[in-house]
Amino acid sequence: METTQRTHQRADQQSAAERRRRELLEAADRVVLRDGPGASMNAIAAEAGITKPILYRHFGDKGGLYAALAKRHTDALLASLRAALDAPAARRQRVESTLDTYLAAIEARPQVYRFLMHPAEGSSGDTGFDVGRHSAPLLRRMGEDLADVIEERVDLGPGGQQLARMWGHGIVGMMHAAGDWWLGERPCSREELVHGLADLLWGRLAAAGDKAGGPGF
């Protein structure tokens, strides 16, 4: 009986901690939407109605908070990209839809994108940290996820696994670089950028067959 009660207590405590962590991440999201890369731990703690030491207790430092926010937003983005890839449409249309999904996501929440990819430069302590050390894993994760999709669905022949990884990371790098440029300068419409990038990708992808027994791409 006592063991069961302790188990329930631990489960309740864990559930409460997860709920509190989620609330803090939502507060951090609101500050990031307002302040972008300049979002500080002080501002996030104030938004959450707590002191900064309590925020540190949950996340360690700004790097820990960044990692938690990055996972939250990357999970959502990857789910959206997979949905675009899985849509019942011709392959070219799905390629364009996937590119558009990424660009629409960064366009809709540019401050979040800048916080994740361009933390405050030239600053230290509470307001800045090493951009590459934190943003590179996000791009790597997206590249590996896309590589898995390509390998599952496209028949690339001998060496297909390695080629899928080349394509996965290459496509993500292209989307990131082109999207970053486009978001900063807006030299063309999103639709024009989608078509241009799809044209660049379309070469061998158009000629490749679907994997036998796979979901297709």
Per DSSP, 87 falls in state S
pLDDT at 46: 93
Q: What residues are paired with 210 via a beta bridge?
A: 154
Distance CA 200, CA 101 (A): 17
pLDDT at 91: 83
pLDDT at 115: 85
pLDDT tens for each residue of the chain, 217 residues long:
666 666 655 665 667 778 888 899 999 999 988 988 888 889 999 999 999 888 888 888 878 888 888 888 888 888 998 898 888 888 889 889 999 999 999 999 999 888 888 765 544 445 444 445 667 788 898 899 889 988 888 888 888 899 999 999 999 999 999 999 999 999 999 999 999 999 988 876 666 656 555 555 5
Q: Hey, what domains does the chain have and what are their CATH numbers?
A: 67-210 (1.10.357.10)
Tokens 């109605």 map to which residue? 49
pLDDT at 162: 94
Q: Which residues contact 11 (CB under 8 A, 6 or more apart)?
A: none
**What is the CB neighbour count within 10 angstroms for residue 171?**
23
pLDDT at 180: 95
pTM (predicted TM-score): 0.78
Distance CA 169, CA 145 (A): 9
Segments in the chain forming alpha helices (H): 2-35, 41-48, 52-59, 62-86, 91-108, 110-117, 131-153, 160-185, 190-207
Q: Which residues contact 153 (CB under 8 A, 6 or more apart)?
A: 210, 211, 214, 215, 216, 217
pLDDT at 211: 59
